Amino acid sequence: MWLRTLVAGIVVLGAAGCTKADRAVMAAPACPDGKSGRPQPARVQSGAVWSGVQRSTAPADAWGGGLVPGWTDVVSVADDGFATAAVRADGTVWTYGVNHKGSLGHGSEARVRLEEPRQVAGITDARSVHNGGSTFFAVRADGSVLAWGSQNILVNAGRRDGYAGVTRPRAVPGADGVHAMAPDALTAFALRSDGRVLGWGVNLTDVLGDTDSTRLTRIDGVRNAVDLASTGGAVVVATADGAVCAWGNNAHGVLGVEPRGGQSGKPVRVRGLRNIVQVAGGHHVAFALDRDGTVWAWGRGVSGTLGDGDTSDHHTARPVKVSGLPPVRRIAAQQFTGYAIDTDGGLWSWGSGVTLGDHTRATGAAPERIPLPGPALDISARHVIVDTAG
């Protein structure tokens, strides 16, 4: 009896030391197992890459806008704001732009600029490319991952090897069976083909769970994931039964828990979302796309990022519908900007300043359509894969 009383007293004292937000996060529903499911390989259509940056508005960019030379059969693109990488249909990877600590992958840390794409040596079987800051990851056909760029701790699966960048592609130890990735500047997350999630890097906000290690680990409490995204301080996943789960920092409400605050290494279910097929993450803001083509947003709403008509710096832990969009088939995000590609290939954006081609705005409380030379297939920051054949 005395032991039971002691344990009860410790629990009470521990709870008393928590804030209301901490207790709300601890009481949030765990991520459900739901129905069994795995991420399905997407039917990928290749296209040309259109760079929407004009040299006069972004002098650090390597390309002055328009179609990128030679990129006519691209299936995946990743843009860090200075360097851009693309996977062509033949599995090769090409980069151009400004090199930062090896981000171009050509064997040098020198800050040089490539005006036109050059092939990255040693990769012939890539399926997709992703970036977290100036670190790039190529997912290969066999599910392994190659990486290069500024953060060697991410390239080396959480093992710090000095502070130099990695200038050529290197295998990420332990990353196998990978379907897709969602890296950010300090951490990397990989969605495996079995619906599990791997993570590694700096665990500032419990995004790697209850661990002090930076090493690659499997995230406990999430199964049957079909898509994932990082929001900087938190991670969100869509599960096979259409639910959304999140873990990490709830300061901006990304865990879907009110009051905002606290953090959790245990994935919790975000209330108010169902039939979700894709998620995307900006800077402290998350987006979800449901089967009906509706886009939902929650988290930090600065500059109109939530698409709710409010450009003030506000927050919501309850997902709100992004109004003014036609039916959508794909979403993406960059910092405080949301993107949607409608079922006809039209590209829409809302949130903070966007300069893409002739389309420029400071903020956007409502989605606006961006003119393109063809239907949009996918987007990463300022680069869009477009179908120019039809």
Model confidence at 16, in pLDDT bands (50, 70, 90)? very low
Does residue 187 lie in a domain region?
yes
* pLDDT above 70: residue 12: no
Model confidence at 3, in pLDDT bands (50, 70, 90)? very low
- Between residues 13 and 245, the one the model is more confident about: 245
* pLDDT above 70: residue 8: no
Q: What is the pLDDT of residue 234?
A: 98
Q: What is the pLDDT of residues 169-180, one digit of tens each?
A: 999 999 999 999
Model confidence at 163, in pLDDT bands (50, 70, 90)? confident
Does residue 37 lie in a domain region?
no
Q: What is the pLDDT of residue 54?
A: 52
Does residue 40 lie in a domain region?
no
Does residue 116 lie in a domain region?
yes
Q: How many domains does the chain have?
A: 1
Q: What is the pLDDT of residues 100-141, one digit of tens each?
A: 999 999 999 999 999 899 999 999 999 999 999 999 999 999
Q: What is the pLDDT of residues 213-261, one digit of tens each?
A: 999 999 999 999 999 999 999 999 999 999 999 999 999 999 999 999 9
Does residue 290 lie in a domain region?
yes
Q: What is the pLDDT of residue 17?
A: 55
Domain that holds residue 338: 2-32+46-386
* pLDDT above 50: residue 67: yes
Q: What is the pTM of this model?
A: 0.92
Residue with tokens 């800051």: 133
Does residue 328 lie in a domain region?
yes
Of 52-56, 163-167, 223-227, 233-237, give the lowest mean pLDDT range: 52-56
Q: What is the pLDDT of residue 144?
A: 98
Q: What is the pLDDT of residue 334?
A: 92
Does residue 159 lie in a domain region?
yes
The span from the CA of 244 to the CA of 222, in Å, is 10
Does residue 335 lie in a domain region?
yes
Q: What is the pLDDT of residue 60?
A: 40
Q: What is the pLDDT of residue 220?
A: 95
| Mean local confidence (pLDDT), 55-72 | 62
For position 51, which CATH number holds? 2.130.10.30
Model confidence at 323, in pLDDT bands (50, 70, 90)? very high
Q: What is the pLDDT of residues 330-369, one digit of tens each?
A: 999 999 999 999 999 999 999 987 666 666 666 678 899 9
